[in-house]
Structure 1
Amino acid sequence: MNLPPMYRSLVALDRVQHRDLRFRQDLVSLEPAKGLNSMFLNAVEFADAVHDYPIVFVRAGQAQDGKPAPLMPLAVLGLKAGENLFIKDGKWDAEYAPAYLRRYPFAMARVEQDNQRVVSMDEQFEGFSKTEGQALFDDKGEPTEFAKSVLEFLDQYESEVERTRAVCEVLDSMDILEPMRFEATVDGGEKVEVDGFLAINEEKYAKLDDAKVLDLFRRGLLQLIECHRLSMRNMRRLAIKRLGA
């Protein structure tokens, strides 16, 4: 099983096996995210994320039927592999924290046997306890209000993942994204290069006909594209942030 970034293990939450399990919010740590220089971002998050992060696209997964691998949006967190510039003194140093981060240590995982998704958890998370914290199940083995709120958040998150996939398919079909590279020289003459991502080709974007632009507007995609374009200014801000890290 390929584990998503941040997660050290994933097990399905079971009302029998985990009946006495409790969750300590005060022990939630950003340690698992320290080595992440990017993080998945749902399209609905662009409007909030644009103030803090560069929003880029990458190809993830396997190509199928001769088509390129699907697109996926990411919030850039660092300019080098293993570098996260948004963790400072154990806290998230940005106005907005991606939903991917906020869902930890829970997630929806796919069960291969029936292709269904079930609520899962990173069992190595240090904040699970049998004596302290929020109970996940009541005395009858039914989910508590806290567990129900976790499920609601995860359901909403997965719905937005599906919408984001659809958004990326539309952008991909328009052929307006291209490989980009960011370069900066920081104090001491160190040269920083970031590549391997896709961004809007401004020339192709400007040449879209009016009907296509209107269609993007009506689908709500024009705003997403503009958020992406504006967010690219944050690459240079990351370089500045790196100096003060």
Structure 2
Amino acid sequence: MSNPPMYGNLVPLDREQHKKLRLQTELSSVDRVAGMNSLFLAVVEFADACKEFPIVFVRVGDPTNATGGKAPVAPLAVFGLKAGSNLFIKNGEWQGQYMPAYLRRYPFAMARINESEDMAVCYDADWKGFSDTEGTQLFSEDGQPTEFTVNAKNFLESFEREAERTRLACERLVQLELLRDMRFEATLTNGEKIDVEGFLALDEEKYAALDDATVGELHRNGLLALLEMHRLSLGHMSRLAGMHNAA
């Protein structure tokens, strides 16, 4: 089982094997993304995220295995214009008004153990907040999940539903060829030039050329609003350049 970004060692949570496991919930996990300049963002989060971060799209997976030979895409919230730079973390604390659900779910995640099994609740065994002696219990004495664990599982299941909804939304954008390769350039006050490539953004020409029926469809399924929030968010690229100047 491969580990997604920011996770060290995902292990399926087992009520027998981990019946004594506890989690120190007061420990902040934001340091796990201190070296990451972007994170996956579900479409349901666009309304909050677009107020603070640029929202871009990136190609994921192998296009040869995709429908129509087009690589699937996924949205990302961007936290910095340089690799390994997260401008929303300072002194170990998250500085943004909104924290993406991908980070909020840590140190848990849903993962498929193998292709034939259902998704299982997993935890990052490398996270320092887990122990058998300190923190909130994950299981009661009779082996049943505690209220904390049930709530965590519900959040994970909601995250997976929204991730699937995001996949379908992105699939439609790819079908309509509404995304194109983009780049962003900025010059910092110290003279350093930043050139950001490898991301996709709305193709304005193809967007403007959509027929009325397609525009109506995108309005009804919510994609039109998502695209507008994406467009609005791109103005934060310049804001990030200013944050690099101040860092």
Does the alignment reach a TM-score above 0.5?
yes
Shift of 1:113: 5.1
- Which residue pairs with 1:26 in the alignment? 26
Shift of 1:117: 0.7
SS of match in other structure, 1:189 = coil
- Structure 1 gap segments, 5+ residues each: none
- Which residue pairs with 2:100 in the alignment? 98
Shift of 1:134: 1.0
TM-score, structure 2 normalization: 0.96
Distance 1:113 1:209, change over 3 A: closer
Distance 1:113 1:202, change over 3 A: closer
Instruction: Kindly indicate whether the alpha-carbon contact (under 8 Å) linking 1:37 and 1:79 is maintained by their aligned counterparts in 2.
Output: yes
- Which residue pairs with 1:70 in the alignment? 72
Instruction: Kindly indicate whether the alpha-carbon contact (under 8 Å) linking 2:10 and 2:122 is maintained by their aligned counterparts in 1.
Output: yes
- Which residue pairs with 1:140 in the alignment? 142
Distance 1:212 1:239, change over 3 A: same
Identify which of 160, 166, 169 aligns with 1:167: 169
* Runs of 4 or more above 2 Å deviation: none
Please tell me whether residue 49 in structure 1 is matched to residue 72 in structure 2: no
Instruction: Kindly indicate whether the alpha-carbon contact (under 8 Å) linking 1:53 and 1:231 is maintained by their aligned counterparts in 2.
Output: yes
- Which residue pairs with 1:190 in the alignment? 192
- Which residue pairs with 1:222 in the alignment? 224
Instruction: Kindly indicate whether the alpha-carbon contact (under 8 Å) linking 1:28 and 1:127 is maintained by their aligned counterparts in 2.
Output: no
> Equivalents in 2 of 1:125, 1:52: separation in Å?
28
Shift of 1:3: 1.4
Please tell me whether residue 129 in structure 1 is matched to residue 128 in structure 2: no
Q: Which amino acid aligns with 2:143?
A: G
Identify which of 233, 236, 240 aligns with 1:234: 236
> Equivalents in 2 of 1:82, 1:233: separation in Å?
21
SS of match in other structure, 1:27 = coil
Equivalences for residues 177-216 of structure 1 within 5 A:
177-216=179-218
Q: How far does the alpha carbon of each residue in 1:47-68 deviate from its partner, in whole angstroms, 9 at most, with x for none?
A: 0000111000011112215612
Shift of 1:29: 2.6
> Equivalents in 2 of 1:181, 1:79: separation in Å?
11
Shifted more, 137-146 versus 197-206: the winner is 197-206
Identify which of 155, 160, 176 aligns with 1:158: 160
- Count how many residue pairs are aligned between Structure 1 and Structure 2: 245
- What is the RMSD of the two structures over their aligned residues, measured on CA atoms? 1.1
Instruction: Kindly indicate whether the alpha-carbon contact (under 8 Å) linking 2:40 and 2:76 is maintained by their aligned counterparts in 1.
Output: yes
- Which residue pairs with 1:36 in the alignment? 36
Q: How far does the alpha carbon of each residue in 1:6-51 deviate from its partner, in whole angstroms, 9 at most, with x for none?
A: 1111000010111011111112332211111110000000000001
> Equivalents in 2 of 1:134, 1:109: separation in Å?
23
SS of match in other structure, 1:80 = coil
Q: How far does the alpha carbon of each residue in 1:186-208 deviate from its partner, in whole angstroms, 9 at most, with x for none?
A: 11111111110000011111111
Q: How far does the alpha carbon of each residue in 1:203-244 deviate from its partner, in whole angstroms, 9 at most, with x for none?
A: 111111121111100111111000000000010000011112
Q: How far does the alpha carbon of each residue in 1:155-198 deviate from its partner, in whole angstroms, 9 at most, with x for none?
A: 00000010000000111111111000000111111111111000
SS of match in other structure, 2:186 = strand
- Structure 2 gap segments, 5+ residues each: none
> Equivalents in 2 of 1:215, 1:29: separation in Å?
40
SS of match in other structure, 2:87 = coil
Instruction: Kindly indicate whether the alpha-carbon contact (under 8 Å) linking 2:80 and 2:240 is maintained by their aligned counterparts in 1.
Output: yes
TM-score, structure 1 normalization: 0.97
Distance 1:3 1:220, change over 3 A: same
**Identity of matched residues, %:** 55
Equivalences for residues 6-17 of structure 1 within 5 A:
6-17=6-17
